[in-house]
Amino acid sequence: MAKYIVHQSDPLKGEVVISGAKNAVLPLMAAALLSEETCIIRDVPELRDVAFMREILTSLGSEIEELEANTISITTEDILSTEAQFDLVNKMRASILVMGPLLARKGRAKMPLPGGCAIGARPIDLHLKGLEALGAEIIFMDSYVEARAGGQGLIGDTIYLDFPSVGATENIMMAAVLAEGTTYIENAAEEPEIVDLANFLNKMGARIKGAGTDTIKIEGVKRLGGAKHTVIPDRIEAGTFMLAAAISRGHIHISNIVPDHLKPITAKLRECGVRIEVGDEEMIVRGDLGPQSATDIKTLPYPGFPTDIQSPFMAFLTTVEGASTVIETVFENRFMHVSQLRKMGASIETAGNKAIIKGNSNLRGTQVMATDLRAGAALVLAGLVAEGTTEVSEIYHIERGYEKFIEKFRGLGAQIEKIEDC
């Protein structure tokens, strides 16, 4: 299996350009299933998860072409299958996002229960509850679930989500755009990726208002056309490079960002003593000015602190002055990186969803495992400042979600290489 070998590196310096957002492009690709016309998506990052989504869409009847680097067209003249294949869905939880579009366009969707990062039980009850409220019948069979619309198709309704789930909000929104009448999603997720999806659907002819607030109104339309759209920048990738500047005491210019999307990370890093100058679509992050001290973090749905940055931030907190507390409220099992950071010499105690990190650790390189996508990034960050060499295994997790990961780090002076076969 391939590994990353990370050597203790000098402070990172230089410029990095952020790619299109993984968590935005996957729902956009699924949404293209809603139209028989061509959708063109730009700034599509080259990622394993995008490749999985391409395979899923192709298996359902889409024709996907690469028009130029990072630009694809998706045309789905007809949906040839309403059943997603187990081997594809099992690799990626976001494959559940084809359920809403299939149901909306063909009245049926059969899905194996999805896979993805092992960061908790991650049920899909909220997705199903929403589709059921729109009139679908939900049938469970072994490891499959099928949603079937009645003879009248889907009918708009008011859906209150018990938790503002990102995926459930997206799936319900995509199902509701072709439903009869008006749908309200209450306690909806407010993430920027939801707004991006709503903008794309509206370009296709949907009538969605309120995306980015906790109530989304969707007036159903008869059909959707094609659209051209550019994916928003990846705020989690940007956050990872902000932390790379902080942990390495470096100086990084990060471009192609939406600074508003990064507010919670910016605020917390500033509290720790990191200097951040924010421009229009760029920022300069300086970890090289003055001492860095502890802070407390609690992950929350947007606009709270993102759970996806919790593990990279924790890696940074092991290196600052003082003790920090991290509370994870979004996923129930997102501390798997703790044991790996401890192997590197970090002092972290956990109790339930709370971790206490003693700062000033002298991290040491050793063999560690990327237990999920963001945990993998956290270990690479720790490896940059750990004494000696850190070997990070299971890096396919990292490649699921970071475009040109080691190229970008190397461009900033990081000493990191990939070895293909161990």
Kindly state whether residue 402 participates in binding ligand UD1, applying the rule CB under 6 A.
Answer: no
Residues ≥6 apart with Cβ < 8 Å to 192: 21, 24, 212, 232, 235, 258, 261, 302
- CA 185, 191, 195, 200 dihedral sign is negative
> How many positions of this chain bind ligand UD1 (CB under 6 A)?
22
CB 172 within 8 A of CB 183: yes
CA distance linking residue 415 with residue 383, whole number of Å: 10
Q: Using the rule CB under 6 A, which residue among 70, 76, 307, 318 binds ligand UD1?
A: 307
Kindly state whether residue 320 participates in binding ligand UD1, applying the rule CB under 6 A.
Answer: no
Indicate the residue among 166 and 414 with the shorter CB distance to ligand UD1: 166
Interacting span for ligand UD1 (CB under 6 A) from 4-12, 102-110, 116-124, 286-294? 116-124
Torsion angle defined by CA atoms of residues 287, 382, 404 and 98, in that order, rounded to the nearest 10 degrees: -110
Question: Is 117 part of the annotated catalytic residue set?
Answer: yes
Minimum CB distance to ligand UD1, residue 291 (Å): 31
Kindly state whether residue 23 participates in binding ligand UD1, applying the rule CB under 6 A.
Answer: yes
What are 163's two structure tokens?
């938790």
Interacting span for ligand UD1 (CB under 6 A) from 122-130, 205-213, 224-232, 240-248? 122-130
Of the listed 39, 117, 272, 422, which one is catalytic? 117
Q: Which helix (H) or strand (E) holds 131?
A: helix 125-133
Kindly state whether residue 163 participates in binding ligand UD1, applying the rule CB under 6 A.
Answer: yes
Q: Using the rule CB under 6 A, which residue among 28, 32, 104, 166 binds ligand UD1?
A: 166
Q: Using the rule CB under 6 A, which residue among 3, 105, 127, 253 binds ligand UD1?
A: 127
Q: Using the rule CB under 6 A, which residue among 61, 107, 115, 120 binds ligand UD1?
A: 120
Q: Residue with CB nearest ligand UD1?
A: 167
Interacting span for ligand UD1 (CB under 6 A) from 117-125, 133-141, 309-317, 336-344? 117-125
CA distance linking residue 296 with residue 238, whole number of Å: 21
Angstrom CA distances, 295 to 209, 253, 302, 334, stand at: 37, 24, 19, 19
- Give the angle 208-211-214 at the CA atoms, nearest 5°: 125
Kindly state whether residue 126 participates in binding ligand UD1, applying the rule CB under 6 A.
Answer: yes
Local structure of 2: helix, strand or coil: coil
Indicate the residue among 93 and 253 with the shorter CB distance to ligand UD1: 93
What are 104's two structure tokens?
């909306």
Site residues for ligand UD1 per CB under 6 A: 23, 26, 93-94, 120-127, 163, 165-168, 193, 307-308, 330-331
